[in-house]
């Protein structure tokens, strides 16, 4: 836990420049002093984990502490090592270096069945000839759990995932979302210390995926179960996670809560993955958007830019007060993203992405329209 910063006071209420405001926010964030870590805050520890396949490094020197009951998402593009890292924690893939520790116990050399870790895969891997009940009970039978206890635990788990009325059905009689919940129940019934989930929702359609996101998170919170969840979907990670580990090229590029990663990316690579950030050098930031900074890179989120047509006021009634002078440009592309409209605007030979809330047809600007692009200078992020 972090201690709250002391209240800030100033002798005179003098307006700060946008650049000063950004620097002050960063200074306050950096001043937060963490308390000494407790055992619960270091429940799962990854210490220097490395893995290679031949000459190819999959991940190198992974270091992370995960708290008891925390939901952590490993986010990143395909091939960044996130699924292999999950399999290494489960004991399904041996590491070349480093240690995995759970609740003070080193489990690196234990076989998967003795680690107390449950795993749910993208592909359900259910037994087609078994009923839902028997699929969920299978692990308990392998552990020789007595029949009465086995019945009770399976019934309770099926109720938890809302499948109690489907206990006697076979997998082919279930929807994709229901089959995934059977796979989840099969892991939960064994009462694991840690639950690992490798892109469990990626094969489902959008509506079912949305419902299962909420259901998975509710179950995880209800059980207080330490969970690692792998996905390449930024929205999924932002919605579900206590913390996100953004991975790239076998390393954790940045970790933190969703707000931190989205609004305060640590590098251009993070900014590029977390959204359609506008990445500018100092000269471009100055000439295009009126932001002065002695920095190699300045980034603006697309929703921090605002459009003004040549005939109207800025096309957003929630416009902030700290706007830069702006630059003239032409809308070359307009995309409907549901409740957001994304414009691509050419300004002095440079493309800028601008997101505007979709408030209705009368607010839309057409492709080919001449516009001014203004930036909320307080939302600049220096890299």
Residue scoring higher pLDDT (16 or 84) = 84
> Which of 244, 271, 298 lies at the terminal end of a domain, its last residue?
271
308 in the same domain as 212: no
In a domain, 247, yes or no: yes
203-240 per-residue burial string, b: 16 or more CB within 10 A, e: under 16: ebeeebbeebbebbbebbeeeebbbbbbbbbbebbbeb
Residue 288: HSE in the Cβ half-sphere, 13 Å Cα cutoff: 27
Residues 34-48 pLDDT 10s: 455 667 899 999 999
- Cβ atoms of 178 and 166 within 8 Å: the answer is yes
In a domain, 97, yes or no: yes
Residues 99-145 pLDDT 10s: 999 999 999 999 999 999 999 988 888 999 999 999 999 999 999 99
* CA dihedral sign of residues 53, 59, 64, 70: negative
Do you know the residue count of the chain?
383
* Residue 321 to residue 324: CA distance in whole angstroms: 9
Question: Could you identify the residue written with the tokens 């031949």?
Answer: 54
138 in the same domain as 287: no
β strands within the chain, DSSP E: 44-53, 56-66, 71-75, 97-102, 105-106, 117-120, 194-198, 226-231, 243-248, 251-256, 278-280, 298-300, 305-309, 327-336, 340-347, 350-357, 370-375, 381-382
What local confidence, expressed as pLDDT, does residue 293 receive?
A: 84
**Secondary structure (3-state) at 350:** strand
- Cβ atoms of 202 and 231 within 8 Å: the answer is yes
- For residue 282, give its domain range: 277-382
> Which of 246, 271, 296 lies at the terminal end of a domain, its last residue?
271
What local confidence, expressed as pLDDT, does residue 4 receive?
A: 43
pLDDT for 11 beyond 60: no
How many domains does the chain fold into?
Answer: 2
325 in the same domain as 304: yes
pLDDT for 362 beyond 90: no
What local confidence, expressed as pLDDT, does residue 352 receive?
A: 96
194 in the same domain as 76: yes
* Residue 58 to residue 52: CA distance in whole angstroms: 5
Among candidate residues 122, 61, 37, the one with its CA nearest the CA of residue 87:
122
Average pLDDT for the chain: 88
80 in the same domain as 208: yes
What local confidence, expressed as pLDDT, does residue 34 receive?
A: 45
Mean pLDDT within 268-295 = 90
For residue 8, what pLDDT band results from cuts at 50, 70 and 90?
very low
282 in the same domain as 266: no
286 in the same domain as 242: no
What local confidence, expressed as pLDDT, does residue 122 receive?
A: 84
CA angle 288, 292, 295 (to 5 degrees): 105
Residues 221-268 pLDDT 10s: 999 999 999 999 999 999 999 999 999 999 999 999 999 999 999 999
In a domain, 153, yes or no: yes
76 in the same domain as 208: yes
Residues 225-235 pLDDT 10s: 999 999 999 99
What CATH number did the domain enclosing 328 receive? 2.40.50.100
């Amino acid at each position: 836990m972090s201690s709250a910063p002391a209240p800030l006071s100033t002798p005179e209420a003098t307006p700060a420049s946008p650049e000063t405001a950004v620097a002050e926010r960063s200074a306050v964030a950096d001043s937060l002093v963490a308390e000494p870590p407790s055992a619960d805050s270091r429940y799962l520890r990854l210490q220097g984990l490395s893995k290679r396949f031949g000459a190819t490094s999959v991940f190198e020197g992974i270091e992370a502490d995960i708290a008891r009951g925390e939901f952590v998402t490993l986010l990143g593009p395909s091939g960044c090592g996130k699924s292999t890292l999950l399999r290494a924690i489960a004991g399904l893939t041996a590491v070349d270096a480093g240690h995995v520790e759970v609740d003070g116990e080193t489990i690196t050399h234990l076989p998967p069945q003795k680690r107390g870790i449950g795993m749910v895969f993208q592909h359900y891997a259910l037994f087609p000839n078994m009923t839902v009940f028997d699929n969920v009970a299978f692990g308990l039978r392998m552990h020789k759990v007595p029949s009465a206890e086995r019945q009770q635990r399976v019934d309770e788990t099926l109720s938890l995932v809302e499948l109690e009325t489907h206990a006697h059905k076979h997998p082919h009689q279930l929807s994709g979302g229901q089959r995934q919940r059977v796979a989840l129940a099969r892991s939960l019934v064994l009462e694991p210390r840690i639950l690992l989930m490798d892109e469990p929702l990626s094969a489902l359609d959008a509506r079912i995926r949305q419902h299962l996101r909420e259901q998975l998170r509710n179950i995880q919170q209800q059980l207080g179960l330490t969970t690692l969840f792998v996905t390449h979907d930024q929205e999924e990670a932002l919605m579900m996670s206590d913390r996100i580990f953004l991975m790239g090229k076998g390393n954790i590029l940045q970790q933190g809560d969703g707000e931190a990663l989205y609004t305060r990316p640590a590098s251009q690579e993070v900014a590029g993955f977390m959204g359609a950030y506008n990445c500018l050098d100092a000269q471009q930031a100055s000439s295009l958007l009126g932001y002065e900074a002695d920095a190699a890179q300045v980034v603006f989120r697309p929703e921090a830019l605002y459009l003004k047509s040549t005939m109207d006021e800025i096309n957003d009634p929630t416009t902030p007060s700290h706007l830069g002078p702006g630059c003239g440009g032409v809308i070359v592309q307009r995309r409907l993203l549901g409740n957001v409209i994304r414009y691509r605007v050419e300004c002095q030979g440079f493309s800028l992405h601008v997101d505007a809330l979709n408030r209705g047809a009368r607010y839309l600007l057409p492709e080919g329209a001449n516009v001014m692009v203004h930036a909320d200078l307080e939302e600049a992020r220096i890299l």
